[in-house]
Amino acid sequence: MIVSVASGKGGTGKTLVATSLALSLKDEHKIQFLDCDVEEPNAHVFMKPVFTESQKVFIPVPSVDEAKCNHCGKCGEVCAFNAVAVTSHKVLVFPELCHGCGACGYLCPQNAITEVANEIGILEVGVAEGIDFVRGKLAIGQVMAPPIIRAVKDIADSNMDTIIDAPPGTSCPVVESIKDSDFCLLVTEPTPFGLNDLALAVATARQLGISCGVILNRAGVGDGAIEEYCRQESMPIMLTIPLDNAIASLYSRGIPLVAGIPAYKISFVELYENILEVVNEGSSSSER
């Protein structure tokens, strides 16, 4: 089973939940942890993996043979990302804008374009307390997170029970991270920002056909608007974590919640059992 942890709003507790969930399950299950927040991976701060392998991640970007090119402009025209400009006697490529889709080369009437590998980041594989750990890391100055996330998911074992720490937001990197999940946990906080972005995240997960549930972190402040939203949307609140200085203090020292306050382990184990129940119900009802 693949469980992804997303949020919409940043800083609500995705990594807190993902790391503690993985650590709570590791004794009973063989778990794989994927840090897909490749712009700012931080699960390693808590999991402290030992990395054994590192791979560069590339995307194909166009290289133009000016001897074959007649500067017809087709490549610039078909580029959806403005990564190619064609002047009367030179083609200019902007690799940092290229998504590596290959349209320019495919559609070049002169066959003047070949693809060259542009390094955009790395992925690292290791082990943390018996948990297989993979993280992607976007290189500084690069902006294309999805190809790195794809590389992380490609190297992962798709048959293993997997926890995915997704990036914040609801754009392409999040979609790439959570798609193909059996279940998506959406971590929120009781603030207007938390609610606004939770609604966006719920809409994203629904669009992708992924069942999801809410984790309410820093509970105890605010006005109950999250609970009201969840009632209206029939979204289960699967775990509530209170606003607690002790938790913040552990987190600031890189100590996972379940390591610092072991009583939480039972909550995370129960959370996983509840997820399993929802996923199994979903699959048996769709089989009917």
Partner 1 sequence: MKIAISVAEANLEADVAPRFGRCQHFIIFDLVSGKFDSLGNKSADFTGGAGIATAQMIADSGVQVVLTGNCGPNAYRVLSATGIEVVTGVTGTVKEVIDKYRRGDYLAAGKPSVASHYGSRFGSPG
Q: Return d(Cα 37, Cα 177) in angstroms, integer.
A: 8
From 86-94, 211-219, 257-265, 267-275, span contacting partner 1 (CB under 8 A): 86-94
Minimum CB separation of residue 90 from partner 1 in Å reads 5
- Assess 87 for contact with partner 1 (CB under 8 A): yes
Pairing, β 113-128 against β 131-138: antiparallel
Question: Which residue has 């374009």 as its token pair?
Answer: 113
Among 1, 45, 97, 172, binds partner 1 (CB under 8 A): 97
Distance CA 6, CA 14 (A): 6
Is residue 142 a contact partner of residue 121, using CB atoms and an 8 Å limit? yes
Q: Note whether 56 binds partner 1 by CB under 8 A.
A: no
| Binding flag, residue 86, partner 1 (CB under 8 A) | yes
Q: Please select the residue that binds partner 1; options are 10, 40, 94, 130, rule is CB under 8 A.
A: 94
Q: Which of 55, 70, 82, 158 binds partner 1 (CB under 8 A)?
A: 82
Tokens of 17: 């939940």
CB of 88 to partner 1, least distance (A): 7
Options 37-45, 74-82, 147-155, 244-252: segment touching partner 1 (CB under 8 A): 74-82
Q: Are strands 84-86 and 91-93 parallel, antiparallel or unpaired?
A: antiparallel
Q: Does residue 47 touch partner 1 according to CB under 8 A? A: no
Which CB, 88 or 285, lies closer to partner 1? 88
Catalogue the E-assigned strands of the chain.
2-6, 31-35, 50-64, 84-86, 91-93, 113-128, 131-138, 161-165, 183-188, 211-219, 237-242
Q: List interacting residues with partner 1 (CB under 8 A).
A: 76, 81-83, 85-88, 90, 92, 94, 97
